[in-house]
Amino acid sequence: MDDQLANAVAERYEKQWILAAYLEAEWGDHFEVVRTPEPTGADPRYPIRQTFYADVADLVTGLARARYGDGDLSILDIGGGTGRFLYEWLLRNPHTANAVLIEPSVGMTRFARAFLEGAETVTEAPYIGTKAAPQTQPFRRPTPPSAVGSLTIHNAKAEEVELGDGSFEIVCCLNVVDRHNDPVGLIAYLAQKVKPGGLLVISTPFDWEPDYTPPEQWFMDLRQVTPTGWGELATKDFVWDFRYTLRKATRFLPQVAITAKPA
């Protein structure tokens, strides 16, 4: 049963139209979209808000600085998608000692490498179209942040990568728990990887689907699943916009919860 749910999630994040939606949500402000006029009359550049990753990076950076100053920190991003959150983190934190992105989708990882590391093997990206046929567009990469030398990208599930317990000052997992077959188990796993005194950053739009998570495991407030004894540093909602097709856009309002492990 769990394998079936995990396979459904894995299939979702290899679909071209899903990848197109994520690329726009994460990197749309960096796409140089070269389009012929849309024959259906839909405006392919209708603006959606693309501030979620910068908003979260600002919040986490402020809390991390208050705790650690400008120290050389280790950060882990699980289910990091096409990498925009770590990009925003590295821009704000050039002294990062170790940044690790773990992402099981082959397609997402490919673009994380292109955008973060400047991998030049990728020159075209799927762009919003219809569900059956996303368009393909050339794109321009941002200049990689100077701290990119500290970054390692793993194309794997969280549970498949050997990570020492207590080895990261900051562990992030953005918008993944509602796409996991055991969300509370995943949070317990993330908590193990945080150093004593370090930060756990979780966000979710609670967009639960029975195909991905058994309904008896759904919850609607991250504070219900915070590890026992951890301090609550911030709980905030941010806007997270998506266009899935030229005629379907969705605004999510994920809750972002940041807690601190006892020192």
Q: Which of 74, 135, 175, 226 binds ligand SAM (CB under 6 A)?
A: 175
Which CB atom, from 108 or from 147, has the smaller least distance to ligand SAM? 108
Contacting range for ligand SAM; rule: CB under 6 A; set: 33-41, 101-109, 115-123, 218-226:
101-109
Decide if 88 contacts 62 (C-beta within 8 A). Answer: no
- Least separation in angstroms between residue 262's CB and ligand SAM is 26
Contacting range for ligand SAM; rule: CB under 6 A; set: 31-39, 99-107, 118-126, 193-201:
99-107
Which CB atom, from 28 or from 81, has the smaller least distance to ligand SAM? 81
Contacting range for ligand SAM; rule: CB under 6 A; set: 35-43, 113-121, 128-136, 174-182:
174-182
Under rule CB under 6 A, residue 180 binds ligand SAM: yes
Question: Residues binding ligand SAM: what is the number (CB under 6 A)?
Answer: 19
Contacting range for ligand SAM; rule: CB under 6 A; set: 35-43, 112-120, 171-179, 245-253:
171-179
The 3 state secondary structure assigned to 137-182 is: EECCCCCCCHHHHHEEEECCCHHHCCCCCCCEEEEEEECCHHHCCC
Which CB atom, from 36 or from 115, has the smaller least distance to ligand SAM? 115
Which residues fall within 8 angstroms of residue 194, CB to CB, at 6 or more apart?
166, 168, 169, 170, 171, 200, 261
Which CB atom, from 61 or from 197, has the smaller least distance to ligand SAM? 61
Binding mask 64-83 for ligand SAM (x = CB under 6 A): --------------xxxx--
Residues that bind ligand SAM (CB under 6 A): 9, 13, 26, 78-81, 102-105, 108, 157-158, 174-176, 179-180
